């Protein structure tokens, strides 16, 4: 038998001669000439089916709740009606509620509680951002994945996960991240593109961005506990974790990893946080109108992406700072400040122009804190 070498460019696969099949992208495949064409057809068919399903889902998400005829879908995607039907079947198998009515077409109905890039796309204000979004059903941590990608040269990706198995916040504290109820998203950001007074001011900007996005999508106003906790109805619904990726030689910060976790309909929190943790829709059954949690999760992801990818040039750091001040909790309250292993009592007076907490100490002196934690007892 002769040895043949073929490269299947669409997949980055190399097929060499005969032998065993080793299933890994960009690896060497050993296959006989007799089976090469069959293998190629199967690979192309799989890619074609996946692309068709993804494009159909994007089309249905853009027209969510509306009927699209099989003919119009086939025309828009450049495929046959039979291919449309096969893609619909594949979407249903994945858990999407797609209804089909004769002479009316296909409809993506409410209740599809699935995070997907295709469901985020219709709400993006900058279409080119689509290429940067990566959605996963489960990750250990979106920040961890973002840091791994950043280490390999990625400078712009947005990482979204339905659930985290090892989510964490400041000081390594666990962040409860069950599936189907929250939004867990991380951004790889360039410090130079943020136009912030200090690199660590990104947390202030992020808190303002979260409040703006939740107001836009959910219609509710949240409060902020310095520096990175967002509250609603007296309970924490969002945590923000900012991490830096530095150059070991120069010590300069090359990229910022910004992680945001939002409890949208999360319930049944672990006992150790049950008294302080909450969700935007903590009791959806009591609302006057049903909430489509899946739609909210995807829209909220898109709105945060719009903010951090520059779709709102008017939402500068100063604009976020003003919003932060408006929503700031504990203003004028006496609290305990924990800093560098010590604790002291102080009155919260506000935040300065670069996001530092301004406190008044019992001796009458003021201090502007760039780090530390407010403790409420």
Query: pLDDT tens for residues 44-93?
Result: 334 344 588 999 999 999 888 899 999 999 999 999 999 999 999 999 99
Q: Are residues 126 and 263 both part of a single domain?
A: yes
Q: What CA–CA distance (Å, rounded) separates 86 from 52?
A: 9
CATH at residue 151: 3.30.930.10
Q: Residues 38-67, buried b or exposed e (16+ Cβ, 10 A)?
A: ebbeebeeeeeeeebbbbbbbbbbebbeee
Residues 306 and 161 in one domain: yes
Local confidence pLDDT in tens for the 377 residues of the chain: 333 333 333 333 333 333 333 344 433 343 444 444 344 444 333 434 458 899 999 999 988 889 999 999 999 999 999 999 999 999 999 999 999 888 789 999 888 899 999 999 999 999 999 999 999 999 999 999 999 999 998 989 999 999 999 999 887 889 999 999 999 999 999 887 777 877 778 999 999 999 999 999 999 999 999 989 999 999 999 999 999 887 767 777 889 999 999 999 999 999 999 999 999 998 655 565 678 999 999 999 999 999 999 999 999 999 999 999 999 999 999 999 998 889 999 999 999 999 999 999 999 999 999 888 898 76
CATH number at residue 99: 1.10.10.10
Same domain, 14 and 160: no
Pairing of strands 133-136, 158-161: parallel
- Bridge-based pairing of strands 13-16 and 28-29 is parallel
| Contact in structure between 362 and 349 (CB atoms under 8 Å) | no
Q: Are residues 11 and 98 in the same domain?
A: yes
Give CA–CA dist 112/119, Å, rounded: 10
Report CA-CA distances (Å) from 138 to 22, 57, 178, 261. Answer: 26, 20, 10, 14
Nearest 5 degrees, angle CA 92-CA 95-CA 101? 35
What digits encode the pLDDT tens for the residues 292-345?
999 999 999 999 999 999 999 999 999 999 999 999 999 999 999 998 889 999
**Residues 209, 318 within the same domain:** yes
Tell me if 210 sits within 8 A of 328, measured CB to CB. Answer: no
With beta carbons less than 8 A apart as the criterion, state whether 308 and 205 touch.
no
Contact 182/175 with Cβ under 8 angstroms? no
Tell me which residue has tokens 């006989």: 32
Could you tell me if 317 and 212 lie in one domain? yes
**Whether residue 130 is found in the same domain as residue 236:** yes
- Clarify whether residues 192 and 309 are in a common domain: yes
Contacts of 73 (CB under 8 A, 6+ apart): 56, 59, 84, 105, 106
Find the domain containing 43 and state its range: 5-108
Do 178 and 314 reside in the same domain of the chain? Answer: yes
Tally of structural domains, the chain: 3
CATH number of the domain that 361 lies in? 2.30.30.100
Contact 105, 67 (CB under 8 A): yes
Domain boundary among 108, 131, 149: 108
Last residue of a domain, one of 53, 76, 108: 108
Do both 359 and 340 map to the same domain? yes
- 262 plus 299 within the same structural domain: yes
Q: How many CB atoms lie within 10 A of CB 193?
A: 13
**Using CA atoms in the order 8, 11, 15, 20, what is the torsion angle rounded to 10 degrees?**
-150
- Whether residues 135 and 251 share a domain: the answer is yes
335 contacts 346 by C-beta, under 8 angstroms: yes
Q: At which of 51, 80, 108 does a domain end?
A: 108
% of the chain beyond a pLDDT of 90: 67
């Amino acid at each position: 038998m002769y040895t043949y070498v073929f490269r299947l460019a669409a997949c980055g696969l190399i097929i060499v001669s005969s032998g065993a099949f080793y299933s890994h992208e960009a690896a060497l495949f050993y296959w006989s000439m007799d089976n090469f064409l069959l293998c190629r057809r199967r690979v192309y068919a799989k890619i074609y089916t996946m692309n068709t399903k993804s494009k159909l889902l994007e089309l249905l998400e853009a027209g969510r709740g509306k009927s699209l005829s099989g003919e119009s879908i086939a025309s828009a995607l450049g495929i046959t009606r039979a291919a449309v039907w096969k893609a619909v079947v594949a979407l249903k198998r994945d858990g999407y509620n797609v209804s089909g009515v004769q002479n009316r077409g296909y409809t993506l109905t409410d209740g599809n509680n699935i995070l997907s890039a295709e469901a985020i796309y219709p709400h993006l204000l900058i279409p080119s951002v689509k290429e940067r979004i990566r959605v996963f059903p489960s990750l250990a941590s979106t920040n961890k994945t973002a840091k791994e990608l950043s280490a390999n040269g990625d400078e712009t990706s947005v990482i979204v996960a339905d659930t985290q198995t090892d989510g964490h916040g400041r000081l390594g504290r666990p962040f409860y991240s069950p599936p189907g109820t929250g939004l867990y998203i991380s951004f790889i950001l360039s410090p130079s593109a943020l136009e912030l007074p200090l690199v660590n001011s990104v947390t202030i900007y992020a808190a303002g961005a979260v409040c703006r996005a939740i107001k836009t999508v959910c219609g509710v106003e949240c409060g902020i506990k310095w520096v990175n906790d967002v509250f609603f109805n007296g309970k924490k619904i969002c945590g923000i974790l900012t991490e830096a990726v530095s150059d070991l030689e120069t010590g300069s910060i090359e990229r910022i990893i910004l992680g945001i976790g939002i409890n949208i309909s999360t319930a049944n929190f672990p006992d150790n946080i049950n008294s302080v943790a909450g969700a935007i829709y903590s009791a959806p059954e009591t609302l006057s109108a049903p909430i489509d949690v899946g739609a909210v999760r995807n829209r909220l992801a898109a709105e945060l992406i719009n903010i951090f990818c520059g779709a709102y040039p008017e939402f500068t750091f100063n604009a976020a700072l003003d919003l932060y001040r408006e929503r700031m909790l504990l203003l004028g309250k006496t609290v305990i400040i924990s800093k560098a292993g010590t604790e002291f009592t102080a009155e919260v007076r506000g935040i300065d122009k670069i996001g530092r907490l301004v406190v008044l100490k019992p001796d009458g002196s003021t201090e502007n804190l760039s780090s530390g934690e407010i403790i409420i007892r």
